[in-house]
Structures are given as C-alpha cells and as structure tokens.
Amino acid sequence: MLVIKNAKIFTSANGVIDRGDILIEHGKIVDVGESLELPECEVIDGEGLVVIPGIVDAHSHISGFGADMEEQDLNEMTKNATPEVESIYSIDTQSPMFERAIKGGITTSAIAPGSGNVIGGMVCAVKSHGNSIEDMCIKNPVALKAALGGNPKGVYGQKNEMPMTRMGIAHVLRDTFMKAKEYMAKKEAGKDVPFDIGLENVCKVLRKEIPLKVHCEQFDMLTTIKIAEEFDIYFTLDHAWGASDFYDDIIGSKNLKGVIYGPIGVLLLPGECGKIDIFSLIELDKKGVPCAIMTDGPILKPDVIIIQAGEVVRFGGDIERVINMLTINPAKILGIDDRVGSIEKGKDADLVIFDGIPALDTNATVKYTIINGQVIYNNN
C-alpha cells in the first residue's frame, strides 16, 4: 500500500485537485481526493509537488530500432504491405530506452512497426516496466500501422518497385483493403477460403475493431481521409505536420479517432515534412478532435515529449488540456483508457510526480515514476 499526500493532482478525469491525496493498493488507485482517511503505510510527501497520470506515448518505436536507429527490427521491408507481422515480436524488454522512458515519465508506449511499408503490421501498447513482454503488454493489437509519403516511396522507389509514387501508395492501400473486404465477404457467406493472417488483420480494421494508424503529413492526410471514408474504417493521423492547412477536412471526418502529432525538433525536409504547426492541436482540440503528442522514439528521446507539450502551451494551449494530450487523450485513442490515462478509482496506479508543472514550468523535473503501484524511479 502506498499513499501520496498533499500534492497538486492533475487527474485528467475530474479536474485539478490543488491539495490532494492518492491511495494505492495492489497496483491500483483505490481513492483520490482531498483530506482522505489514510491508513498507516508507505507515504510520499507531495507537498509542493505535482502529480499527473503516467504519460502515454501513442506512437513510438523504442526497443525495436535500437537507441539510435542502428537496428530495423520494426521494418519488414520485403514487400510493400505486411499486415501479417506484429510489433510485439520485435520488442526488446531489456532495451535501455525503456529506462529512459521511465525517467521521462512515460509509463505506456504504443510500439508500432516502422514506416518503410505502406502497411507495416500490428501495433501493441506496453508498459515501460515489467517482468516479461506478457507482463508489460496492455493490449495487442491497438491498431494496424500504415504509411504514406516519402518513407515507402524511398524504400520501394530505389528498387524500381511499387510504390515509387503517391499514386502507387494509394493503390497499394486500397488494393489491400479491397482484397480483405472480398475475403471477409466470402467467409461471411460460408465459402471455403484459405486462411490468411494478413487479411485477417486487415479485417479487424474493416470491422472497426482497431483503427488504421497512418504515418502521414501535408496533403497525404487528405488521401488518408478519402480512403478511410471509402472503406468506412477508423483511423488516426500520425505526425500530421501541416494539419493547420486542413482543419475543415480533419474536423469533418466522422471516423477519425484522433491526431497524434509530432515529433518536432527533428531533421525536417522541404515539402511534406516542412511545416511544423504544433499549435494546430489547440484549434483541433477546441473543435472536439482528440489530440495527442508523440515522440516517435527513438527518433526523439522519451524526455522530449514534455518539451513538445510545452510548445503547445507556449502557443496558448490551456495547461490542463495539454496535459490531457499526454495522458487520457492518447489512452482513449489507443483504446486503453479503461486501464491508464487518468487518476481515478480502479485505474492502474501509473503516476508521475514532478517538481514543477510539466509543460508549463521549463525547469519541471520528474521526481518519481510509479508503474502498477511500484516506485520504479526515484529522483530524490
């Protein structure tokens, strides 16, 4: 049993408690509020400190690309669409990047295949700490990864194979969904169809069990929206550089599960990657679009997620709503908000305690990271 006392608590559920307590038992949040009746147990004195839910990074590749992209265990670049593969099999649970995520306050990451293929494979959500991948995994899958633009063009164009153009990318994406739709229709009609794990995974998207998680930016977002509407599927816009040019299209898309923005501060090239408009999250959030901030780790290291959130605040974002972009919003987008993302009774006790308000105070630092009720990191 663990108690955090007298802290400022951003619950990401029921507002901000200026001076509150959190009671934790058996890895879960038992109670949260002001002046709770607390048992004798281990206590963290939160006087002058700030507690937020554990940060959820909705788009990451840590543990599958090495520390500096020296490995490519999350890019099965043997054909342009590989929906049959799953990121969970490339996660190195001993990767030092998880330790860095913990020190940065990230307690959950959506580990996605890379963007070398038009369809890259299944995405899973894992905790930053655990005894095994089965212990760390919250949900598998949470999405099917896809990628538009320069990445698949760069991979297959060099081989003189499809797709070497945006036309080719759109075709590969549509063709895959058409094949899966036909496969699903035959199965539903009781016809004898050879089992195909890749098409089975695509059918999960067609049945709206999981969204299509799309690496896209600039006008590639419009292609994503168009194809998602054609097949009536849920999707997310990941990276979303240039979103401010397409507010009406994004806001009007009925099957959009959310915008997962970032990272900023990486090498950006003219054209598709050249418009850094993280301020667009403010307008999208006001219009009811679920918005989250990502690291794309190890492209950006885990601790930089707070700096990106600070940029949204610098452009005028409300601090409470920006913290939601690190916590409950990504949890909802990933479909894991029954477990993580907010400080509420019954949720997993994943918490980060800061000295200072993250994203607002430039010198805010992580003092404790708690995962499943255990203090995994203590910076005192």
Tens digit of each residue's pLDDT (9 = 90 or more) over 168-215: 999 999 999 999 999 999 999 999 999 999 999 999 999 999 999 999
Tens digit of each residue's pLDDT (9 = 90 or more) over 236-269: 999 999 999 999 999 999 999 999 999 987 655 5
Tens digit of each residue's pLDDT (9 = 90 or more) over 281-322: 999 999 999 999 999 999 888 889 999 999 999 999 999 999
Q: Return the number of other C-beta atoms located less than 10 Å from residue 32's C-beta.
A: 23
C-alpha 180/C-alpha 174 separation (Å) is 10
User: Residue 258, class by beta-carbon neighbours within 10 Å (0-12 exposed, 13-18 middle, 19+ buried)?
Assistant: buried
Q: Is the peptide bond before 302 cis (omega within 30 degrees of 0)?
A: no
Whether the pLDDT of residue 274 is over 80: the answer is no
Domains located in the chain, CATH noted? 1-53+341-379 (2.30.40.10), 55-339 (3.20.20.140)
pLDDT band at 70 (very low <50, low <70, confident <90, very high): confident
User: Residue 232, class by beta-carbon neighbours within 10 Å (0-12 exposed, 13-18 middle, 19+ buried)?
Assistant: exposed
